[in-house]
Amino acid sequence: MNSLAIVMMQRNEGELLSSWIKYHQDIVAPEDIHILDNNSDDISTLFYLSEAKKAGCNVTYGIEDFEKKGRIVSELIGNLTETYKYVAPLDCDEFIGVLDNSFQFQNDIESIISELDRSSGELEIYLRVQESIWNIPFSTKGYHLPIKKIIVSRMRNPRLDLGFHLYDWYTNGPTVPPETIRTSRICYLHYHNGPFERVITSARRKLAQRLDGFTKKDFENYKGAGKHLLRYFTISEQEYMESFPQATHDLSAAFLNKGGDMPFVARDILLRTAKTWSDNNHALQLAKWTEIPKAEVNETPQGPTIVHLAEAGTATRKPPFAVHDPEELGLCDNLRNPIEVKVSSREVLVLPRSRLFGQRMLASNGHLYSDFELNSNHIDRYINNRFDVRQSEYQLSAGADGYWSNKLQSDPIKIEGRTALVSSSEPVNYGAWLIRVIPKIEAVRRLFKSDVRFAVFAERDWQREILSHLGIGEDRLIRQHFGKTYELEQAVVPNWPNRHKYLDTHTLQALGHIRDEALASDTRTDRAKAIYVSRRSWGAAAPSAIKRREFLNGEEFEIALASRGIKIVEPEKDGFEETIRNFASAELVIGPQGSGLFNCVFCFPGTTVIDIEHLPNFLEGHSNLFASCNLNYALIVARAIDDAGADPVHRSFSLNIPAALAFIDGILEGRYR
């Protein structure tokens, strides 16, 4: 009897199918793989199916009803148990392996079979898969997440459901007798998190036969299979990319020994990342970068050079001076003590004669360069046409003269002179502009005395207002379009990773200089000493019909604060320079979490900040921000609301106003601690 068969049903999975086939062919023989095709009509999918069949995989075409997947797969497994001890029904985004005793992922056949034998006890039984590692898009990293899946051991008449769960999420129990299930250490790498457009397209395809339409009302009324997919239709791409938790595993090796075809990650990134996961190197470099003296920076180099501004290190984050949690929700309990925070290195790459793709992916002399932090969630999705059908005009390939993009629609845009690339991986995020884009601009201006033009995504009015305040007018601005290719005479790329939002000395100096300049030209002498940062303007301007992090009783809270002489400010209305002056003049700043409160970077050290938090997702980063600015910060815990269909990381909230006011009154009486 053979050991393991793998069964999978799919439709139009394209490149993901290619990765899945290559991966599993290295674990079991091709004849042990059974692929059921649900009437695919995508050319690339049909090609990969044909190649799999030629290699010896079992490919069955013409499967009609995807909603009957559980029954169809159960019947196939029943037939296969005469030949195999174990049958693993997988989805196309699931890659089998096992977590060993040290919580490391292993995917050799010996480890997998050993765990299946151990957990099954040679019985006719279901094996529960309860471990998974979900991918972070455009990164080689993943995060651990418990799941409920099933592998079949020797059962001739299994009864699987659509998702291969055999689990009722409402009763939190199995749908079969508990004695027929045993737990295992089998683990799936789950590549559910693809490029945003792919996720939307896939979700729409899966839900098309289950929903009457794709309106908010349709979402609210739907309770069936695939309900977890609805959230993708209520969030932006930026919010999607911000929603992933801290990585727990590097998955590079799992794919390098299976052909190196990791889903949604270019092979060049995969190869380099596998070598640098543990060396704390924050820049992707496929060629040797050599250090040059700062005095020589103004000279045009003949090859790639890097200027080191600050080495990586650590800092101790001071805790908040108070945590006010009247309902004992426990959200901030882990912030009450000092903690060590990593601070990334700072450097500037100078690269002659290169081509720019997407945000900051550069090709020069046969090498690819990027300043994206290796453990970032935002490795640029534009570097490979496989990631985004809208960018299919790109074909990134290696030739005799290096990596070039064959763009079918137009020639590269040629830019002479020195060009600084200062976009953030979150190009329209206001907070990212404050703590990433502005420090990059200031670093470039300090290093180079000669003229520099700045390439950055700047289609929003507020972005150009910031640039104008920094002295960058249209004559020095290149409005970068991420869907175009640029040919640069000399590229200057500041590498400024601060995913943890703990600001370094260079960033604080740059922001402090901007604050001092704004105050020097301020003619007002009556600015408020206590301000509240309102989210009203942001909420009214939100592009979606479903609000994000809406403060449900915020208006009542603002009225109460105004009665205490606290000025209500709305940064979206006030403008950049006025906002700097408001925050720089304040001795007390109160506000709910959000980009408006990021303006605290313009406060003087020692300013008291009261941050209202209701979600764990951004709590560490906000605390790092306040502590690194040497602000005296306190946290008020609000209650998150379970909005129907809302993204869990952008839930609305309400505040215990009497308790919060009592806390604030105490601080006011203490003269702003």
325-368 per-position pLDDT tens digit? 998 888 888 888 888 888 877 888 888 888 887 666 777 765 66
Tokens at residue 369, please? 């360069």
Average pLDDT over residues 551-579: 93
Average pLDDT value over all residues in the chain = 80
Instruction: Specify the length of the chain in residues.
Output: 673
Residue 144: beta bridge partners? 133
CA–CA separation, 5 vs 97, rounded Å?
14
Cβ atoms of 568 and 591 within 8 Å: the answer is: no
Tokens at residue 84, please? 């195999």
Q: Looking at per-residue confidence, does 94 or 513 come out higher?
A: 94
Nearest to 597 by CA among 542, 530, 532, 654: 532
Residue 509 has pLDDT above 50, yes or no: yes
C-alpha 514 chain-centroid distance: 30
Q: Furthest-apart CA pair in the chain: how many Å?
A: 87
Tens of pLDDT, residues 411-440: 788 999 999 999 887 888 899 999 999 999
Provide, rounded to the nearest whole percent, the portion of the chain with pLDDT above 90. 38
Average pLDDT over residues 165-185: 88
What pLDDT sits at residue 356? 83
Q: Looking at per-residue confidence, does 358 or 121 come out higher?
A: 121
What pLDDT sits at residue 538? 64
Which range has highest mean pLDDT (290-294, 317-321, 387-391, 647-651)?
Answer: 317-321
Tokens at residue 663, please? 């806390």
Residue 374 has pLDDT above 50, yes or no: no
Tens of pLDDT, residues 68-113: 999 999 999 999 988 999 999 999 999 999 988 777 889 999 999 9
Q: How far apart are the first and last CA of the chain?
A: 74
Overall fold of domain 518-669: Rossmann fold (3.40.50)
Sheet holding 567-569, edge to edge: 322-324, 632-637, 608-613, 588-592, 530-533, 567-569
Q: Enumerate residues 6+ apart whose C-beta is below 8 A from 240.
A: 196, 199, 232
pLDDT band at 547 (very low <50, low <70, confident <90, very high): low
Residue 249 has pLDDT above 70, yes or no: yes
What pLDDT sits at residue 60? 95
3-state secondary structure of 231: helix
Range with lowest mean pLDDT among 47-51, 173-177, 642-646: 642-646
Asked whether the whole model's pTM tops 0.75, one would answer no
What pLDDT sits at residue 379? 35
Which range has highest mean pLDDT (121-125, 238-242, 271-275, 562-566)?
Answer: 562-566
Average pLDDT over residues 579-602: 93
Cβ atoms of 38 and 63 within 8 Å: the answer is: yes
> DSSP secondary-structure letter at 11?
S
- Strand 125-135 with 141-153, pairing: antiparallel
What pLDDT sits at residue 114? 94
Tokens at residue 128, please? 């529960």
Q: Which helix (H) or strand (E) is 98 found in, with range?
A: strand 94-99
What pLDDT sits at residue 648? 64
Which range has highest mean pLDDT (112-116, 420-424, 509-513)?
Answer: 112-116
CA–CA separation, 142 vs 249, rounded Å?
5
Provide, rounded to the nearest whole percent, the portion of the chain with pLDDT above 70. 83
Tokens at residue 47, please? 């090609």
CA–CA separation, 640 vs 649, rounded Å?
10
pLDDT band at 120 (very low <50, low <70, confident <90, very high): very high
Tokens at residue 604, please? 């003087």
Amino acid at 379: I
pLDDT band at 467 (very low <50, low <70, confident <90, very high): very high
Average pLDDT over residues 615-624: 87
Residue 323: beta bridge partners? 635
Range with lowest mean pLDDT among 386-390, 599-603, 604-608: 386-390
pLDDT band at 390 (very low <50, low <70, confident <90, very high): very low
CA–CA separation, 389 vs 196, rounded Å?
11
What pLDDT sits at residue 79? 92
Tokens at residue 288, please? 């040797």
Residue 67 has pLDDT above 70, yes or no: yes
Buried b (16+ CB within 10 A) or exposed e, 342-380: ebbbbbbbbbbebbbbbbbbbbbeebbbbbbbbbbbbbb
The domain limits of the chain are 2-193, 198-243, 280-310+345-495, 518-669
What pLDDT sits at residue 300? 39
> Rounded to 5 degrees, what are φ and ψ at 528?
-65, 145
How far CA 484 is from CA of 345, 359, 385, 394, 448, in Å, comes to 30, 10, 13, 9, 27
How far CA 441 is from CA of 417, 421, 430, 598, in Å, comes to 17, 9, 15, 18
Average pLDDT over residues 272-280: 33
Q: Where are the alpha helices (DSSP H) in 56-106?
A: 69-80
| Secondary structure percentages of the chain, helix, strand, coil, to 5 | 35, 25, 40
Q: Where are the alpha helices (DSSP H) in 106-261?
A: 109-120, 196-207, 216-221, 237-241, 252-256
C-alpha 44 chain-centroid distance: 27
Residue 381 has pLDDT above 70, yes or no: no
Q: Enumerate residues 6+ apart whose C-beta is below 8 A from 524.
A: 581
Cβ atoms of 444 and 422 within 8 Å: the answer is: yes
Which range has highest mean pLDDT (96-105, 288-297, 527-536)?
Answer: 527-536
| Orientation of helix 576-585 relative to helix 461-469, angle to 10° | 70
The CA radius of gyration of the chain, in Å to the nearest whole number, is 27
What pLDDT sits at residue 388? 30
Q: Which CATH superfamily is domain 2-193 in?
A: Spore Coat Polysaccharide Biosynthesis Protein SpsA; Chain A (3.90.550.10)
Average pLDDT over residues 460-477: 91
What pLDDT sits at residue 152? 95
Range with lowest mean pLDDT among 347-361, 451-465, 550-564, 625-639: 347-361
What pLDDT sits at residue 275? 34
What pLDDT sits at residue 206? 75
Range with lowest mean pLDDT among 94-103, 202-211, 280-289: 280-289
